Structure 1
Amino acid sequence: MAAASRHEIRKSRKTAIFGTLAGGLMRLWCSTLRYEIVDRCKLGVPDGISGPVIYALWHNRLFSVPAAWKRLCGKHRGAAVLTSASHDGDVLSRAMSAFGIGAVRGSSSRRAIAALVGLKRSLEEGVDVCLTPDGPRGPRYKLQGGLVKLAQATGTPVVPVHVEVSSCWRLKSWDRFIIPKPFSRVRVIFDEALAVPAKLSDDAFEAERARIESILLAATHDPEPATPAP
């Protein structure tokens, strides 16, 4: 039973209600923000970038991105976000549905293989997927290798997503989650797509992981440094 519980998708009526309410609140909150959306890879152009992409952004930047994505390309692109199999993951998946974004349940610590299969299936169906490669538990601003493996296995380009906020609150969580203050300025950059080679040696894989991490870090204007690896 213990082994089974580690692999089950956790959800409840309480998390469903809370997630739905959270999604509605996020939409209302984000409607007050003054967005500037920079589309470097032409996602917002119907005849722009072809095929699905993998969005990569830091876990603590997630709050502002669904509304920006919906404004930019929600009318002609589908998307799904990877959430954990925990109750918190159920809340997040329900909240994302308020923006027309689906969810694949799983993480590096629970249902990892099932999550990878679900992500691959979404990409095969032409749906973009969104990963927070330092989640679900950190360290903050340290890109884990799963994103690179998914891009390798599917031949899907990676689109780094950067978020700049003029004024915000920060939660006392492992990632110091950022919530923009109402009516603040939020700049969301969908950066140029990155191709990941299908075959990489161990050293080349680490170099590719570090390359994507450095691109995300270069646009992360944060007075709080990355969390040191344990």
Structure 2
Amino acid sequence: MTGRTPAPSDRTSRRRRAGVVVPHQPTRLQRLLARLVFLLIRAVALTLRRSLVDRTGCHDPLPPRAIYAVWHNRLALCLEAYRTYARPRSAARGLAALVSASRDGGFLAAVLECYGVRPVRGSSSRRGPQALLELTTWAERGYDLAITPDGPRGPRYVVQDGVISLAQVTGLPIVPASYRLSRFLRLRSWDGFIVPLPFARWEVILGKPLHVPRQVSETEREEFRRELQRRLLEITQD
């Protein structure tokens, strides 16, 4: 025995060998860049001509608490949409959002923290069960939840199973959410990420909530997955 305290890399590798995936925490540089991105998004959002298309059928208020599902390429303005249209009509104490456990996810987690959102680290391929448990805990504490059902790797506009499992466990309805912009840039990424441009028309669209019972067969789970995908595509216009 050397008595040496294991370095962070040593501890991480041991925990990985033990079957535990440790999320990458935001670096100082990522936190600085996240703050700059946050301020930039806020500045652009102030110039947008905004409107809401509410297809939830819930009128006012929205469901007391919900899981908001938004495509990965709409991340840029999704938190602005939540704070503008969903949060004032919700009884939730706040918002917890699923973010990848990768290094890139560390940057996004830092952006979420600027908005006062609780990041939960995980995905379908890394730390999925732990993330599901953490999201369920935040739901029990009275929080809304947010998830990108086609993230973090795609395919684009294909809903993965995780959001259906989350709805089963928490009992919360899934509210499809999207938006349209009259002016934007599209990045050459797997999701065709949309970057809003100043002074654009910004139309936020909320779809009809999807309720998933706790007890469903595998066939029924697939039907709910396909239905959520259909509802999201219905309110998405590229």
Choose from 55, 68, 71 the match for 1:58: 71
Letter in 2 for 1:117: L
What is aligned with 1:169?
A: 185
The 2-side partners of 1:14 and 1:52 are apart by: 34
What is aligned with 1:24?
A: 39
Deviates more, 1:191-200 or 1:177-186: 191-200
Shift of 1:49: 3.6
Q: Is the 8 A contact 2:122 2:130 kept in 1?
A: yes
Task: Call closer, same or farther: CA 1:42–1:220 in 2, change over 3 Å.
Answer: closer
The 2-side partners of 1:50 and 1:171 are apart by: 34
Structure with the greater alpha carbon radius of gyration: 2
The 2-side partners of 1:44 and 1:8 are apart by: 41
Q: Give per-residue Cα distances to partners, 1:18-62, cap 9 Å, x unaligned.
A: 2222212211122121111234448895xx245320001110011
Shift of 1:17: 1.6
**Unaligned stretches of 5+ residues in structure 1:** 223-230
Task: Call closer, same or farther: CA 1:111–1:35 in 2, change over 3 Å.
Answer: same
What is aligned with 1:8?
A: 22
Shift of 1:3: 6.3
Task: Call closer, same or farther: CA 1:179–1:130 in 2, change over 3 Å.
Answer: same
Letter in 1 for 2:23: I
Task: State the identity %.
Answer: 40
The 1-side partners of 2:56 and 2:71 are apart by: 19
The 1-side partners of 2:112 and 2:165 are apart by: 24
Shift of 1:136: 0.1
What is aligned with 2:138?
A: 122
The 2-side partners of 1:180 and 1:50 are apart by: 28
What is aligned with 2:171?
A: 155
Q: Secondary structure at the match of 1:209?
A: helix
Name the TM-score, length of structure 2 as normaliser. 0.85
The 2-side partners of 1:3 and 1:171 are apart by: 36
What is aligned with 2:81?
A: 68
Task: Call closer, same or farther: CA 1:132–1:90 in 2, change over 3 Å.
Answer: same
The 2-side partners of 1:62 and 1:42 are apart by: 24
Aligned Cα root-mean-square deviation (Å): 2.0
The 1-side partners of 2:206 and 2:28 are apart by: 35
What is aligned with 2:10?
A: none
Q: Is the 8 A contact 1:74 1:100 kept in 2?
A: no
Q: Give per-residue Cα distances to partners, 1:167-191, cap 9 Å, x unaligned.
A: 2101111101001211101111122
Shift of 1:99: 2.6
What is aligned with 1:228?
A: none
Q: Secondary structure at the match of 2:156?
A: coil
Task: Call closer, same or farther: CA 1:73–1:7 in 2, change over 3 Å.
Answer: same
Choose from 187, 193, 218 the match for 2:203: 187
Shift of 1:2: 7.0
The 1-side partners of 2:181 and 2:63 are apart by: 30
Name the TM-score, length of structure 1 as normaliser. 0.88
2:95 paired with 1:83: no
What is aligned with 2:3?
A: none
Q: How many residues align?
A: 220
2:37 paired with 1:37: no
